[in-house]
Structure 1
C-alpha cells in the first residue's frame, strides 16, 4: 500500500483537522461521524495510537483508502471505516466493501471494520467532547483531589463543591473524570447530579 495523498476539498465532503492528544498531532477528518469516532478512540484505553487516511491501495473493486488505522495496546491493529448506517445495508455497498476489505486484509494482515452512528452512543460522545480538553491536564494536577478517603463525594456536583471548598481549581474535577481516576456512567449526560464511582 502507498501513503495517502488527500484529494482537494469538496463541498459535499469537507476535510478538516482534529488535534489528537493521543497522537500528539493534527489528524485529517472527513466527516462528523469520523470525528465522533476519533473522540471515542481518544478515550479508549485499549487504543495506543491511530492514523486517519493512512494509506491507499488499488483493489479489484477500485481504489480504496481505509479511514482510520487503529493500533491497540496488545500490538494488533485494525482498519475502521465510519459510514452512515443508512448506507451500509445496500447490496451494492456490501458487495463493494466486502471485496475491498478482503483484499486489504490479505495485503496487510489487518481486518477492516465498519463503524456507524449506531455504534457510537451520542450521549457518551457528548461526554467525551465535554471532557476532552481536560485530557491535556498533567497528572500531578489531577491527583490533588484523589486522597478523599471516607468523604468520597457521591455526585459530580458534590465533587466540584468539595474541590472549591479546599481551593482546588475548577478544572480538576473534570480532569479526574477525563483521566478515569473517578468513574461515572458515561451513557448518561454528565451533570452535577451524575453519580460517581470510586
Structure 2
C-alpha cells in the first residue's frame, strides 16, 4: 500500500439512519474520531493511553480481497502507527459474534490478506480485551488530565516524593503542602504514567500507587 496509511479514505457521515455514530475527540491526533459503536470509542480511549501508539485513525481505508472465490470488501476499524514506525490495523468485535464458522474463516483470510498484500497485521480486539474491571471508567476520569503537560514545579514535587508506594489519598495530602489543586496534580501524575496502579479496580482514595515513572 503506497499511499499514506494514516489518511482517512472512508468518510463516515455525521448522521446515519443505519448506524449511530460515536464522536471521540482524540488529543493524541488533535482531531475528532468517528466510531460506529460505543465499544469502538472505548477502544480509542485505550489507544490514547497506550504509549506504544503514536497516532491512529478510524475507518482508514477499504481493501478488496477474495473470500470463498467471491470478491469482497473490508474496512478495518482502526489503523494505528506504533513508536517502532510499524503499522497495525484493528477490528473491534463483540466476542459473542465470533462463534460462527463464517466469521472465523473470514478473519483467517483477512489476516493472511493483510500480511501478504498490505504488509502489516490485522488484529482482532473483543470486549474481553477492552473491558477489564473498571478500567474504562478510570481512564475516562483521567483522560482530560493526560492532555495537560506537567509543569516544572509538578515534576519537582514528583521527584521529591520519598515514598515508593502511597495511597491516592496520601498522595493528595503530600501534594497539598505545595499546591492549591492537589487532587488535579495527583490525577495528572497518574494520567502521565508516573505511578503504577490497579486500573481494573475503582480509582479511590485507598487505591495503592507505586512510583515507577520518571518526570520529563
Matched, 1:72 2:78: no
Matched, 1:186 2:199: yes
Structure 1: 5+ residue stretches without partners? none
Offset, 1:98: 2.5
The 5 A counterparts of 1:33-112 are 33-61=39-67, 62-112=72-122
User: Are 2:27 and 2:147, in contact at CA under 8 Å, matched by a contact in 1?
Assistant: yes
Q: If the length of structure 1 is used for normalisation, what is the TM-score?
A: 0.90
User: Are 1:184 and 1:194, in contact at CA under 8 Å, matched by a contact in 2?
Assistant: yes
Give the SS at the match of 1:80.
strand
The 5 A counterparts of 1:15-30 are 15-30=21-36
Runs of 4+ residues deviating >4 angstroms = none
Give the SS at the match of 1:96.
helix
Matched residue pairs, number? 198
Offset, 1:145: 2.9
Q: Whose helix proportion is higher, 1 or 2?
A: 1
Q: If the length of structure 2 is used for normalisation, what is the TM-score?
A: 0.83
* More off after superposition, 145-154 vs 52-61: 145-154
Question: RMSD of the TM alignment (CA)?
Answer: 2.1
1:16 and 1:78 mapped to 2: Cα distance? 22
Give the SS at the match of 1:93.
helix
Give the SS at the match of 2:108.
helix
